[in-house]
Chains A and B, each alone.
Chain A
């Protein structure tokens, strides 16, 4: 009896954490730099990248997850955000409006371009839209490369100053702090990620979010209920692009360069799309977990495993067969195949479905216990 009571208590704790996964995760990540000194070094930078990709994936989730429109060119909007921020902040150009203004401009420009792409492609569905977005991604990449006077071509634009460059707060040079201590960027991107998560949850449970899902579920039925599919899809395009633009802006500021246009190519779009699908379409925790696994694998786990193997000193010839990076993509592919085979709905399926499934499970467990 006491055993079953304990079990249900443990279950209750688990349910509590699951219901407040966002607050718990945020708290853990916010406290982490105090306990893990490595986050003040290179690891902190890697986590910043992780957060930025999470923001990007949440943006893509609006289109692919909520609205059900396949988008293979999200990296283009990521790049547009990065380059707008670059143009508006680098010392080479006379604008230099600082990070905040540049981030807002990135959001607006990316949303505008998203609308311009969305408007003529509204009637396309499924594969056709996928091809159009794929093509658009390539067009943006090549355009960024060819507008050499504006974007610096393959060199990219640099240096992008850190946020708060030149701002002094009580003797503390904010820009300098950002430049030397990775924890500043860690907290900035974590904060923006938290804001985006809150915004997404609110939209999910509001009129616009419902309309997105209705269009995904059955476009004809939605229009027959007076929903304007045109507007709903355009809003999804704009929202998705705007969030991707924000992520791009943060990315450029954190790298202090826009990087070259090839950083915003098809591979990146596909990786983010894989993260969203792996985690669970239309699910915020799923998307975050998907990014954590896929991008974390690449940026955190792979370098760590490599250095560990090197320390073991079992690979004196430097053979790529004995380094983790050599197997990186193979592991990645096998893992994707396995997950899609065993759990096609994603690791954390959409909240509603999950809640529905788990309520029944918990119910069954509790009745069994008594």
Chain B
């Protein structure tokens, strides 16, 4: 009996349960039948460490560390090819983003990942005024790797910038403040409340 219990414990997949409790749409992971259509349909699949199919199998195999530190879910461009083709209609794109979000919450996401960095810049940029300041967002991309390379990058694209100004696709005055929603303070309050609710939910259900 005791050996039995030990064996059961060995095969009890705590990580799958953890994913189901903490990851958005995580309860779908067990429905994957490992057909491989998502992996084959991903246009960027060959650039990732693990295709979605493999990630789902790794979750079920309890490979917590490998899954949460993988760069795969950060590379998803939300093209939705996998969702459209999945024979079991798993919300694969959402699960991938859910996993990324959970890894970030735990602070074990892969470091130096460019899409992750961009997401943060985008969020902070948007939260200031309630609207994305495209000029500043673009510039922060140019200056991502320091001042010198930023200047070089800007000069390289100077002509593009001029043309965008001419066709009113870029407003240089946005650099000074820029426009936003009527009451950014209210938006920030809404987001803060949402964050509190989420924190409370994690406190209650999560680990």
Do the two chains belong together in a single complex? no
